[in-house]
Amino acid sequence: MGRVRDVVTGARRIVVKVGSSSLTTTAGGIDEQRVDALIDELGRLSKDNREVVLVSSGAIAAGLAPLHLPRRPRDLATQQAAASVGQGLLIGRYISGFARHGIAVGQVLLTVDDVTRRAHYRNAYRTLRKLLDLGALPIVNENDTVATEEIRFGDNDRLAALVAVLADADLLVLLSDVDALYTGNPADPAARKIPLVRDDRDLDGVTIGSAGKSGVGTGGMVTKVEAARIATGFGIPVVLTAAPLAAEALAGKEVGTLFEAAAKRPAARLFWLAHATSPRGRLHLDAGAVAAVVARRKSLLPAGITAVDGSFAAGDPVDLVDAGSGTPVARGLVNYDAVELPALLGRSTGELAAELGPGYEREVVHRDDLVLL
């Protein structure tokens, strides 16, 4: 415990994620003491000329008590209603708390579309960047009020990892109600704490349970480990620990679990495409198209597509599937919708342009909007 983690103390831009169970009471509603403790620590960091982005769960949980809901609702409409009430209460608490430190906060609510479509992605990046440049502290949450099942991140651990990528962060800190990653259930005396994860080999034999749990939150240790994989794959180290240990973790003390970062960062937007999106459909490719896309990194043209599955619009993410094996080989943003595309299959762009006009000379998926899986 005497040593200090240099990757923590040297980080200038830090994304901190805190879960619902660390911010709210078991009955629903905001736990003001816990929120204030987190605000004070992040306020100290900001005054130390370190840029902080907070990814905060808790909107739905904060809305339970005011709406007299005894537990987290299962249906989407009631979740959205609770989020609508709770998000205002939560951000209001943050505004007043950070004001004590002379720090303005900015609310940033995201859906998956905001980080996968090119224009939306650039807008989200510019908003975060400008808030930080102006000395404000961005507070990010999923836009639970309007997000449907098709455009949800699923949990805020994943959102936090993707925000760390978007913000080009130096460090991601995941705060929860568990003090570290263990080899099994922390309640089991035989389970061992894992202080350091260098790569997936250090996770061999580790049992981390299911992705869901009861109570006010939606995450579990599975989602935290997956979030750590996403962030470290982009070259961002991750510290996982309990919210009461935030001060020690951010001071570089050896609490919790440190996930070491990969050495090289891939292109940010394509990394988002691979990890943030769920495919809305599938394009089946013949052997020639698979070779062109995978081996030669070419754009996908209509001539190489044998079949189309799913319901999608132009700009949506789709998986590119090897028609022979049924295996997805890439994911990309499609330039045609599912209704229009079948009539174009197997035909050259020149032929299509001559018959239908120059607008049909474009690629089905451009290589700049495509990532190999």
Tell me if 116 is assigned to a ligand binding site.
no
Angstrom distance (rounded) from CA 149 to CA 168: 27
Q: Is 156 annotated as a binding residue?
A: yes
222 assigned ligand-binding residue: yes
Residue 22 DSSP class: G
224 annotated to a ligand binding site: yes
Q: Is 219 annotated as a binding residue?
A: yes
- Lateral strand order in the sheet of 137-142: 105-110, 137-142, 51-56, 13-18, 171-176, 238-242, 257-259, 196-197
Q: Would the annotation count 53 as a binding residue?
A: no
User: How far is the C-alpha of 314 from the C-alpha of 363, rounded, in Å?
Assistant: 12
Ligand-binding site membership of 218 (annotated): yes
Q: Give bridge partners of residue 285 from the DSSP assignment.
A: 305, 322
Whether 26 has a binding-site annotation, put simply, is: no
Q: How many other C-beta atoms are found inside a 10 Å radius of the C-beta of residue 243? A: 22
Closest CA to 293 of 229, 345, 354, 363: 363
Q: 184 among the known binding-site residues?
A: no
SS3 label, residue 304: helix
Q: DSSP label at 298? A: P
C-alpha triplet 92, 87, 128: angle, nearest 5°:
80
Helix 268-276 with 221-233: angle, nearest 10 deg = 160
223 is in an annotated binding site: yes
Rg for the chain, CA atoms, rounded: 22
What count of Cα atoms within 13 Å lies in the side-chain half-sphere of residue 227? 33
State the Cα–Cα distance between residues 346 and 303, nearest whole angstrom.
4
Closest CA to 31 of 216, 183, 158: 216
Instruction: Please check if 235 is assigned to a binding site.
Output: no
Give, to the nearest 10 degrees, the angle between helix 76-99 and helix 32-47. Answer: 50
Annotated binding site for substrate: 57, 144, 156
Annotated binding residues for ATP: 17, 176-177, 218-224
Binding site per annotation, positions: 17, 57, 144, 156, 176-177, 218-224
